[in-house]
Every structure is written in C-alpha cells, then in structure tokens.
Copies of this chain bind each other. A is one copy, B any other.
Amino acid sequence: MEFQFSNRVLKLKPSAIREIFKYASDPSVISLSAGNPAPEAFPSKEIAEISERILAQRPIDALQYSITEGYEPLREYLTDYMKKMHGIGRDFDNILITSGAQQVMDLAAKSLCNEGDVVICEAPSFIGSLNTFRSYNTRLRGIPMDSDGMNMEELEKALKEESNVKFIYTIPNFQNPSGITMSWAKRKQLYALAKKYHVLILEDNPYGDLRFHGEHIEAVKSLDDAGLVLYAGTFSKIISPGMRVGYAIGPKELLQKMIVCKQGQDVHTNIWSQMVCHEFMTRYNFDEHLKKLQEIYLKKSAIATGALDKYLIPKVTYNPIEGGLFLWCTLPDGVDMLDFCKQAVLRKVCVVPGNAFLTDDSAPSQSFRINFSTPTDGQLLKGIQILGTLANEMITN
C-alpha cells in the first residue's frame, strides 16, 4: 500500500545524530558523537537497592496505571526542591512529570504551534528539539550565539520582524552543541525582551547540575514573575536517561493543555522509574551525588581539552566550557568540515558535523561537536589524537 503521510512528517528526517549513533555502535569506532552520561556516573547500586525495596513493599503502586500529571510525591518534592534551591516556580506554575525532557518540547510545540508559526532558537541548537519543533510544521528562526549566549540585538530584530512567534527556545547552561553558557546579564535581557514582546521562553536545562568550573547562574525561570517561562528539567544526565523521566514547570494554563496532550501520547510516564527518582532524591545524599558527577566530568573534560590543546590547537579552536558534556570545535575557513568529519569516520573516529545543529542544515558550518562523557579516557585521548593527525594533514598552512 502506498501511504499518504501528513504534511508535517513529509520532510522529517531521522536525527542525523541518531543515525551517526548507529554507525558509532560499531565497536571498532571511537564515538565522540553521542551525548550519553559516563557509565561511571550512574548510581546503579542505589537504583538497585531502591527498586528492590519498592517492588518488595509497594509492587502494585509501581506497576499499576497512574495519573498523567505524575507521581504525586515526586511532583511535590520537586516543586519544593526547585523553589528552594533555584527559585523556580511560583503560585501560577504547575509541574508535570514527562517521559524525558524531550517530551516537554513535544507537548509545548503541540499545544502552542499551528503550521507556519515561528520558533526562535539559538543557532546552533539541540537537533532533537529542532526536529520536534519541525514535526509540527513550525518555521525555525535561528539567532547567532555570542560567547555569553544568544545575540540580543538579533533576537530583538527577530521578535520585531516575526509576527507569530510562539516561543524562544534556549539551553542556557553549557549549551548543546556549543558549550556556551548564557550570562546572568543576558538572561535578564532575554526575560525583558520576552516580556516586552509577550513571547513565551522555553528554557531547557538538562546540564545545569553538571557545572565543574565557575559560579552557578540562576535559571531564566527564576526571574519569571509573569508566567512567561516554561522550564524543562530531566533526570537523564543526573540519574539515568534510560528511565526517561523529565519534568516541566510552567504556567498552569499551559500545563493543563500539555497534560491533555500527554494523556493522548503515553497516558503517563513509567511510574516505577518515577518512584525510583523520588527515593533517590529523598533517601540518599543527592548533593553529594551531584558533586561526584561534577568531579567525573571535570576529569573527563580536562582529558579532552588537554588532548585538544596538545593535538589540535591552533589549527582547530574550541569554545571554553564551564560544564556539560560537549566541546564545540571550529576548523579554519577554507577547510571542508563535512570532508573532515567523513575522513575522521574512515579513521574510526566519529564526531557530529556542525550543520546538523542549524535551523537550515544545508547552511555552511566550520564546526563539529565532540562529546567527552561517553568514551573511556583512553578512547578520548586516542580519538582526539587521530583528529589532530587528520587536521595536520588537511590544514597545511
């Protein structure tokens, strides 16, 4: 049978990263292309303990249907925790537990966007979110990044020019893929612009707890006194991505629509895993755990930047980072970035070409993304050394 697909999916392509991912599953390939937490970052022992306890004491609660909004004790605890620790959430806000933060992007786009509506995003930005927005036939408008976040002049220009902007999508901490962190000054500017132009901000913060340099900067959501910010959080990078537990904190009216959409998507998020996240946060030393993660990624990032400094600088530059999982490397003008990535793959090292993260992925890019959390220390060193050799061969002047 020949299918007539909906307009919205006609142009959709599988995420380039997911495709590279499959290639990278060849065990002889050093994958610097994923975004997985380091294996040593998983609290496996604690999760096993918690799970055993839950299934022994309250098996039916963990295995039965639950409500769409999420596991009530987790919702309550997270609400208090995020308010107390990060000043996030006010009386006009609600919380919804989602199947990973990815679902927040989907539910927000589904609730808000008609065909042709505009989503403003950082350029480059996280391909998974961009594809979700595309899947509702939105038009993406990318705002170039400065070293301290989105360029605010360009943002205001876009807000003036576009009449049907539904939200501004930002990853303010250790952005994927650029590694850039938005300064506090720019967060305030961003919020002021959103207020001025009556536009929602969708703040995606998967890496906020993975800071290993510099001072913590509060979320844009902490400024929100007018119900203008939808905040997306997740346990993927701090407990386990395989469990698919994330959450949205945002204005009640918006969350009500998102909850109805979630009912239709998956009824509710895996309740067993929600209970595990709740017990892990409340019965273990969560702060201590986050510190341990920060140490793991400090060490791995140091190995990566050390190797980059040794093998690639000055021919290839990279953005300095204060946290997260990624390094954004840039080749000099005149070097063919896609050819570089292809040659790297032939030498069994996989990185992600920068154009994959653009609103128009056929636009030129001189950059590529390296992930330092997934490979072993040895793979990281060897992989970057191979990239260095390749760069030296391709960049002769």
Binding site for B on A (CB under 8 A): 1, 3-9, 12-15, 18, 21-22, 34-37, 39, 42, 44, 47-48, 51-52, 55-56, 59-60, 62-68, 99-100, 102-103, 105-106, 110-114, 117, 128, 131-132, 135-136, 166, 198, 200, 226-228, 236, 240-244, 251, 253-254, 257, 259-261, 263-273
Known pairs A7-B114, A64-B240, A102-B264. 8 more at Cβ < 8 A? A36-B65, A47-B63, A65-B236, A99-B99, A100-B266, A105-B264, A243-B270, A272-B273
Known: A67-B22, A261-B135, A265-B102. A112 touches B3 (CB 8 A): yes
Least CB distance, A319 to chain B, in whole angstroms:
24
Least CB distance, A325 to chain B, in whole angstroms:
12
Contact across chains for B242 and A62 when beta carbons are under 8 A apart: yes
Give A7 to B112 CA distance when docked, in angstroms: 8
Which residues of chain B come closer than 8 Å to A227, judged between CB atoms? Answer: 1
Least CB distance, A94 to chain B, in whole angstroms:
13
Contact across chains for A48 and B52 when beta carbons are under 8 A apart: yes
Contact across chains for A56 and B62 when beta carbons are under 8 A apart: no
Q: Provide a sorted-by-A list of 24 A–B residue pairs whose CB atoms are within 8 angstroms.
A: A3-B254, A5-B111, A6-B113, A6-B136, A9-B110, A9-B260, A9-B261, A12-B257, A12-B260, A35-B65, A37-B64, A48-B52, A48-B56, A51-B51, A52-B52, A99-B266, A99-B270, A102-B264, A105-B264, A110-B135, A132-B265, A135-B264, A265-B266, A272-B273
Listed residue (A6, A13, A105) with the most chain B CB atoms within 10 angstroms of its CB = A6
Give A143 to B198 CA distance when docked, in angstroms: 45
Q: Which residue of B lies closest to A254 (CB)?
A: B3
Contact across chains for B55 and A51 when beta carbons are under 8 A apart: yes
Copies of this chain, tallied across the complex: 2
Which residues of chain B come closer than 8 Å to A48, judged between CB atoms? Answer: 52, 55-56, 59
Contact across chains for A42 and B55 when beta carbons are under 8 A apart: no
Q: Which 3 interchain pairs have the tightest Cβ spacing? A: A44-B59, A132-B264, A63-B240
Contact across chains for A4 and B112 when beta carbons are under 8 A apart: yes
Which residues of chain B come closer than 8 Å to A257, judged between CB atoms? Answer: 3, 5, 9, 12
Give A102 to B14 CA distance when docked, in angstroms: 22
Contact across chains for B264 and A266 when beta carbons are under 8 A apart: no
Contact across chains for A267 and B243 when beta carbons are under 8 A apart: no
Q: Which residue of B lies closest to A13 (CB)?
A: B260
Q: Which residue of B lies closest to A106 (CB)?
A: B265
Contact across chains for B6 and A114 when beta carbons are under 8 A apart: yes
Contact across chains for A244 and B260 when beta carbons are under 8 A apart: no
Q: Which residue of B lies closest to A39 (CB)?
A: B60
Give A217 to B12 CA distance when docked, in angstroms: 38
Which residues of chain B come closer than 8 Å to A15, judged between CB atoms? Answer: 260, 263
Known: A1-B228, A110-B135, A200-B1. A44 touches B63 (CB 8 A): yes
Which residues of chain B come closer than 8 Å to A56, judged between CB atoms? Answer: 48
Contact across chains for B266 and A102 when beta carbons are under 8 A apart: yes
A12: which of B4, B105, B261 is its contact (CB, 8 Å)? B261
Q: Which residue of B lies closest to A49 (CB)?
A: B55
Listed residue (A21, A99, A273) with the most chain B CB atoms within 10 angstroms of its CB = A99
Give A62 to B166 CA distance when docked, in angstroms: 37
Give A200 to B37 CA distance when docked, in angstroms: 41
Contact across chains for B110 and A64 when beta carbons are under 8 A apart: no
Which residues of chain B come closer than 8 Å to A18, judged between CB atoms? Answer: 67-68, 263
Known: A113-B6, A263-B128. A1 touches B64 (CB 8 A): no
Which residues of chain B come closer than 8 Å to A132, judged between CB atoms? Answer: 264-265
A251: which of B3, B65, B259, B260 is its contact (CB, 8 Å)? B3
Give A100 to B34 CA distance when docked, in angstroms: 26
